[in-house]
A and B are shown apart, each in its own frame.
Chain A
């Protein structure tokens, strides 16, 4: 029976080809050089028919039937190209199709995804995700040219962008960030990516508001090669050496890819930001049979680096250095950085790819990630603040102008005073003579000695993640495809701190230095751990706080895509169940009832629906519209008021509610590519917890904002015009308006006690969302020489950049008693949000390749900020304190970050 049916189909196929003789045609070119690409394989997804391009890049493929077709173009060294067309019994010219070199993307990627941006964002922990960069012109520009300005697509927080690796969800349940750094230094082997932007349908997940990305590390997908490269840069690090070897799928059914790298420097662009990173990767494919492939990927990228601080303008002015880093000081004649970040988070993913039929793929993954992430900082018990940028040490703290001027001069002439003074801390520790009574709770066990007044504390956030993920991609019929999946994530983050360095002292003690004064008659409150009171700690010992946040999330999703003649239509939905609990390992003296052991579990049930359609006017003109409604659970980080001390949960905690829509038009023609999208998004009911040290309360204060509503609206435009076969001009604009749309309630509590200090209404409606330029424009020229070299110059302009603001200043209390009419300047100085100056950056990128016999030599040079503009403030934040006495916003001035001046990345690689 089946033989007969096959025969009939084959027969009909021949007949239809013979009758029609119709085809599609086009040419495949290199996107950078414009060179034709030969031997690229074009394959129709629908029926598997394929052809190879000729030497001039052209192709022609016969089609036997009207209908909707999806096709792919695959060429080694280039990104895989997907698209579709409608075929109507006449020869269809698809025009020129450009493939992007993987090298190009890779190295450009590195140039920005070097840990530079992350370094600078220490204070806000907002990392621009460049993983979204793909063939889309807008996305590429956003990632590569706007990245410098901390640009965020549509102003979305990075945690709206979902990242998967071999199917394993990479976004933390704790804070929603994807731990990008775990594959730092493995650029060669993580370049296989699939990306979906914003509300576009995704094939491997439901997808977040900001889109979704999938990184695949199948060994068989890696280009068969041995490749060595050496890079020089002046960004986070100075040198990089990298070696990669991939076998490709071998005849015995195995494929192996290994990669390793080292990145290092004594100092990066910013002083004392040393960098010391290794990376290792191995991926093994085993083709079990025609339909089953097993892959194991194990990777790790252990690194230690010195961090840098943002500073108030006063410090930049004194030091004459907009990149002044106050985290370091000289010790033993060398620069020692007090803020050291260490990451060592190995990842293992076991992936099973099952292709039961041509139309169906089932991808199943078990993922594990463990290890540690730790950052150091100075801690002190009963001593002067050792941070040189402490506001009381600055001239502005002096109430007298002459003295301020004298101090200003003194600091200018003694730059070491603006750095950490390690020797003084050692001296104080060696002078110390303290007695701890009843050590470890043993009566009469007293210890007298040099108790360190200053130590280096290392704060750990050690993850332990396990996940299971399975999804199916299948074609139900000629015009319907179905995707769906289930996933389960379990994540435990161990939060604790250890003594990293006693700095010349003999021991430290596990007391809460802030509690003693507030509760003089309660000897228990000072204990960070009542189960081990008066605990004397040494280097490597845990102290301060010690707890685990356990999060788990179960999720199911489904998507159906209909591809009709004039219309593509999709609908997707998901449902998820998320729960959190805290497990305290310390019985905190201030909260003995609510700190030790497992807390209650809080859980959230969430769902989302997405739908979209694309109207295909013709092969070149498309209109599209997408919409989304979803709820999203809070991140574990925003669930607990003060997780270091207790398991109290934020009041009125709810899931966020997200509503979004976009409409757009796209033109694809050989000379001109145009895309315009307008979007409108509401993100409502958000909760944010922020903690900071409050001088007046002498305590960590937790600021919990509930009921934050945001609106993100705007337009994205991109146009690329081919002036000649070698010269392109590209224009991109992102014109956004992102603002808060509610007056949230701030609940303020202290680490030190359970009482809620106040509930305040924050008047921040219509305040702008910070952390990104709301407007960004780019104009770029590319020249692609036929002689295997290219240069690319872009001019980028940024506007509507706003400073992160302190909610405390937007309260009735902050302006209480100020007559708005009589004191308009004072009034607005307190409540107005600061807009930072507009600025620009010019970037250069160029490269050349040589082919010498069978070997390839590549040289790439990226120079950012060619004009060395060192005055570009990319962001900053107001301090979370307000001078109620004087109502002077300059008492605690804002901190700013500047974009790096001219910086470069030079890469030389050699491939066999």
Chain B
């Protein structure tokens, strides 16, 4: 019995101690290789089979493949991942959260499309599933792996680097990289979306040219509550669409590098860079100007004459010049001294002409007014220094213009040293103006259009030579015969217009001063006889003036109402702006004054002299001519 007991005992002990509960588990390993599936359709071909606003239940036995380019990792996509092949991209909807765990960016996936449904959400084509009641839905979580097969990892895919203007619907559901963009001023200080109430929010990305694109962020995105960055730079995002609006969806904020300065604003630590240095550092293509730089220069272009694009201004500093290309029409006047922060701006070459691109119009600050004296030089020197002198003012003396009757288009300028193209836009106000013949002096801006050329600011930049205004001389006066042809009217003061036999150009002229042993206040008019323009097709007025001493400028008027006698102040006069002498008794041609505004009527023109009892200048008028045809 004792033996039996110990037998039982040993059985109990043996079973008890030796029996083990198996709790070791071998861990599965995954190779992540592409499945053995043959791709039969491109994503573009798949999408091409979609009719907007409809649903297509797929049954063609096709297999598509793409690389995951975006997923729901940050929560900006919900129950969605995006795949793309070289033909296009498409959103894949699955009713499952945290898809990124199975479909990380770079994973190749294969999708058997049979049974899936192609649909669109406001023109954004998606691959999903259909439900009887709810229509288009995501592929059910419980069965998505019957359709979608994961493959290899870490595949790379092409991301085009673009400007906002380059975006087209062809990029829908693909990842694009936009350069030189920033959040709009209105969005600064706000978060990507409303993380508190989980509201999806649109923000606007702009480039320095003011072009805009929407960036849309889900309120559930992990970065929804982060404020948008203030800088400027590069963003990589999925391009999506809502009908015809392009919308970008950020995958995560790591896809965004806005470390550059915002357009036109700086850090406050910018230092001036000489324009010549800026030019010298330019490499072909589009360059981004480095950090913390600003420029200073004086505007030498004059867009009023429209010989330059309304968005362009040319500035010059003591070392050189450059074209500023604004994102819109600017309001800079010649002589304005300006400063602009150029860090992060694009330096680009427009047919050989270097420009700072996409400047915001408010990015330039006026700091004063200054005059740039043109560089007195020769054509040969201009050609030799074409790049260094580009966008600076030069003056060429004693040259001839040939190749056309009017300024518009290309003309040739020659001096003793060489030949250069003088180009004038057809839109320039003086494009139809006659080119003077004979030797002239030219002030111009050195430019480049696939070769060095020069551009005028206005027709007045050409002086000397003779210009045939066209038509017959219907009125002329060299004042050799006194003021007989003129009607004078003294509104104020004892001094009047008088004949000066010795100070004319040459010979006699008409002269007026309020000075008579002291200054006396005067208003005196020198009024022409009526000029008949009732049937005119060409009408030009020209005269010369000389002046000295300080005082009010002389004014020139035209009237269609004046009746030839009496106080001219009783009639309506239109002031015109001819070139007048700037002093020192220098005889100055008025230029051809176009009278076309008055065709169909008779006109009077008048020189109105005014002065005060404090000071009076002296004005002389000579060689008045009116041409009419």
Q: Known: A228-B8, A274-B21, A276-B21. Contact between A393 and B223, CB under 8 A?
A: no
**In the complex, are the beta carbons of A517 and B25 less than 8 A apart?**
no
How far does the alpha carbon of A855 sit from the alpha carbon of B8 in the complex, in Å? 13
Chain A 353-387 interface residues, beta-carbon cutoff 8 Å to B:
382-385
Given the known inter-chain contacts A275-B21, A332-B26, A853-B1, please indicate yes or no for A520 contacting B12, CB distance below 8 A.
Answer: no
- Determine the chain A residues whose CB is within 8 A of the CB of B191 once the complex forms: 520
- Find chain A residues with CB under 8 A from B27 CB: 332, 426, 503-504
Known: A262-B16, A407-B142, A417-B142. A384 touches B98 (CB 8 A): yes
Q: Enumerate chain B residues within 8 angstroms of A382, measured Cβ to Cβ.
A: 73, 98, 101
Per-residue CB contact flags for chain A residues 243-270 toward chain B (1 = under 8 Å, else 0) read 1000000000000000001101110000
- Residue of chain A at shortest CB distance from B19: A264
Give Cα distance in the complex from A393 to B143, angstroms: 12
Residue of chain A at shortest CB distance from B132: A402
Measured between C-beta atoms, what is the minimum distance from A554 to chain B in Å? Answer: 43
Nearest Cβ on chain B to A227's Cβ, whole angstroms: 10
Measured CA separation A429–B438 after assembly (Å) = 87
The secondary structure that dominates the B interface is: loop
In the assembled complex, B141 has its CB within 8 A of some CB on chain A: yes
B98 touches A520 (CB 8 A): no
Stretch in A193-201, A430-438, A682-690, A715-723 touching the partner: A430-438
Pair A239/B15 contact, Cβ less than 8 Å:
yes
What's the interface size class on B, roughly?
35 or more
With contacts A262-B17, A400-B134, A504-B27 known, is A428 near B102, CB below 8 A? yes
A858 at the interface (CB under 8 A from B): no
Question: What B residues does A453 contact at CB under 8 A?
Answer: 98, 101
Selected from B20, B102, B140, B153, the residue in CB contact (under 8 A) with A407 is B140
* Assembly CA distance A423 to B25 (angstroms): 11
Q: A521 on the interface (CB 8 Å rule)?
A: yes
A908: shortest Cβ distance to chain B, in Å? 9
User: Do the beta carbons of B131 and A228 come within 8 Å of each other?
Assistant: no
Contact A852 B16 (CB under 8 A): no
Contact of A383 among B11, B12, B16, B101 (CB under 8 A): B101
Contacts of B568 in A (CB 8 A): none
Closest-by-CB residue of A relative to B141 is A393
Of B5, B75, B153, which contacts A910 at CB under 8 A? B5
B570 contacts A by Cβ under 8 Å: no
B225 at the interface (CB under 8 A from A): yes
Chain A nearest CB, measured from B355 CB (Å): 40
- A629 nearest CB across to chain B (Å): 50
Q: Which residue of B lies closest to A262 (CB)?
A: B16
Asked if B22 CB lies within 8 Å of chain A CBs, one says yes
Interface 1/0 per residue, B140-152 and A, CB below 8 Å: 1111000000000
B148 to chain A, nearest CB (A): 14
- Indicate whether B165 reaches chain A with its CB closer than 8 angstroms: no
Question: In the complex the two chains form, is A430's CB within 8 Å of B30's CB?
Answer: yes
**Contact partner of A264 among B21, B73, B227, CB < 8 A?**
B21
How far apart are B567's CB and chain A's nearest CB, in angstroms?
76
B23: contacting residue among A261, A276, A417, A430, CB under 8 A: A276
A910–B8 touching, CB < 8 Å:
yes
Q: List the A side residues contacting B542 at CB < 8 Å.
A: none
Assess the B97–A384 pair: CB atoms within 8 A. yes
**Residue from B17, B28, B141 within 8 A of A426 (CB atoms):** B28
B50-66 interface bits toward A, Cβ cutoff 8 Å, 1 = contact, 0 = none: 00000000000000000
Q: How far is the CA of A230 from the CA of B17 in the complex (A)?
A: 13
B224 within 8 A of A: yes
B499 at the A interface (CB under 8 A): no
Given the complex, which residues of B lie within 8 Å of A400, measured CB to CB? 131-134
Known: A433-B104, A517-B195, A855-B1. A241 touches B12 (CB 8 A): yes
CB A478 to nearest CB in B, in angstroms, measures: 50
Verify A403–B131 contact, CB threshold 8 A.
yes
Report A764 CB to chain B, min CB distance, Å: 32
Q: A261-B16, A400-B134 are in contact. Are A427 and B30 (CB under 8 A)?
A: yes
Q: Is the CB of A520 within 8 A of B133?
A: no
Q: State which of B28, B29, B101, B141 has its C-beta within 8 Å of the C-beta of A432.
A: B101
Whether the Cβ atoms of B12 and A266 lie closer than 8 Å is: no
Residue in B25, B29, B101, B222 whose CB lies within 8 Å of A431: B101
With both chains docked as a complex, state the minimum distance between the C-beta of A890 and any C-beta of chain B, in angstroms. Answer: 19
Closest B residue to A266 using CB positions: B21
Contact with A along B4-42 (1 / 0, CB 8 A): 010011011101110111110111111010000000000
**Chain B residues with CB under 8 A of A430:** 29-30, 32
> Would you call A336 an interface residue if the criterion is a C-beta within 8 Å of the partner chain's C-beta atoms?
yes
Count contacts on A: residues with CB < 8 A to the other chain: 55
Q: A393-B141, A393-B142, A520-B225 are in contact. Are A241 and B15 (CB under 8 A)?
A: yes
**Chain B positions 113 through 143: 1 when the CB is less than 8 Å from some CB of chain A, otherwise 0:** 0000000000000000001111000001111
Report A376-435 residues with CB < 8 Å from chain B CB.
382-385, 393, 399-400, 402-403, 407, 410-411, 417, 422-423, 426-428, 430-433
Which residues of chain B are within 8 angstroms of A230 by Cβ–Cβ distance? 8, 11-12, 15
Smallest Cβ-Cβ distance to B99: which chain A residue: A384
Most A C-beta atoms less than 10 A away, residue of B11, B21, B222? B21
- Least Cβ distance of B575 to chain A in Å? 63
In whole angstroms, how far apart are the Cα atoms of A383 and B30 in the complex? Answer: 18
Q: Please give the distance in Å from B103's CB to the nearest CB on chain A.
A: 8
Decide yes or no whether B243 CB sits under 8 A from chain A.
no
Interface string of A486-507 (1 = CB under 8 A from B): 0000000000000000011000
Q: Is the CB of B23 within 8 A of A331?
A: no
Q: Is A229 an interface residue (CB 8 A)?
A: yes
The distance from the CB of A274 to the nearest CB of chain B, in whole angstroms, is 5
Distance between Cα atoms of A432 and B102 in the complex (Å): 9
> Does B107 reach chain A (CB closer than 8 Å)?
yes
- For residue B366, CB closer than 8 A to chain A, the reply is no
* B220 to A, closest residue via Cβ: A517
How far, in angstroms, from A37 to B482 measured CA to CA in the complex? Answer: 167
CB pair A334–B225 under 8 Å, yes or no, is: no
Give the distance in Å from the alpha carbon of A219 to the alpha carbon of B67 in the complex. 73
Contact A334 B22 (CB under 8 A): yes
Q: Residues of A contacting B98 with CB < 8 Å?
A: 382-384, 453
B102 A427 Cβ-Cβ under 8 A: yes
> In the complex, what's the smallest C-beta–C-beta distance from B75 to chain A, in angstroms?
8
Kindly identify, within residues 209 to 238 of chain A, every residue whose CB is under 8 Å from any CB belonging to chain B: 228-230
Does A516 belong to the interface (CB within 8 Å)? yes
Smallest Cβ distance from A875 to chain B, in angstroms? 29
Is A476 an interface residue, CB under 8 A from the partner?
no
Is B279's beta carbon under 8 Å from chain A?
A: no
Shortest distance from the beta carbon of B46 to any chain A beta carbon, whole Å: 25
Closest to B8 in A: A910
Task: Assess whether B96 is interfacial by the CB under 8 Å rule.
Answer: yes
B107 adjacent to A431 (CB under 8 Å): yes
**A241 close to B13 (CB less than 8 A):** yes
Query: Digit string of A333-350 for contact with B (CB within 8 Å is 1, else 0)?
Result: 010100000000000000
| Chain B residues, Cβ within 8 Å of A383 | 98, 101
Give the shortest distance, in Å, between B138 (CB) and chain A (any CB): 12
- Give residues 481-520 of B contacting A (CB, 8 Å): none
A627-641 with Cβ < 8 A to chain B: none
Q: A274-B23, A517-B222 are in contact. List 17 more A-B contacts (CB 8 A).
A: A228-B8, A230-B8, A239-B15, A262-B16, A266-B22, A400-B132, A400-B133, A407-B140, A423-B28, A431-B32, A431-B101, A503-B27, A516-B222, A520-B224, A521-B226, A855-B1, A912-B2
List residues of chain B with CB under 8 Å of any chain A CB. Answer: 1-2, 5, 8-9, 11-13, 15-17, 19-23, 25-30, 32, 73, 75, 96-98, 101-102, 104, 107, 131-134, 140-143, 153, 191, 195, 222-227
26 contacts between A and B (CB under 8 A): A228-B9, A228-B12, A230-B8, A239-B19, A266-B22, A275-B21, A276-B23, A304-B21, A332-B26, A334-B22, A383-B98, A384-B141, A385-B97, A400-B131, A400-B133, A407-B140, A417-B142, A422-B28, A423-B28, A427-B30, A504-B27, A517-B222, A517-B225, A520-B224, A521-B225, A853-B1
Question: Which 6 pairs between the two chains have the least Cβ-Cβ distance?
Answer: A241-B16, A520-B225, A262-B16, A332-B26, A276-B21, A428-B101
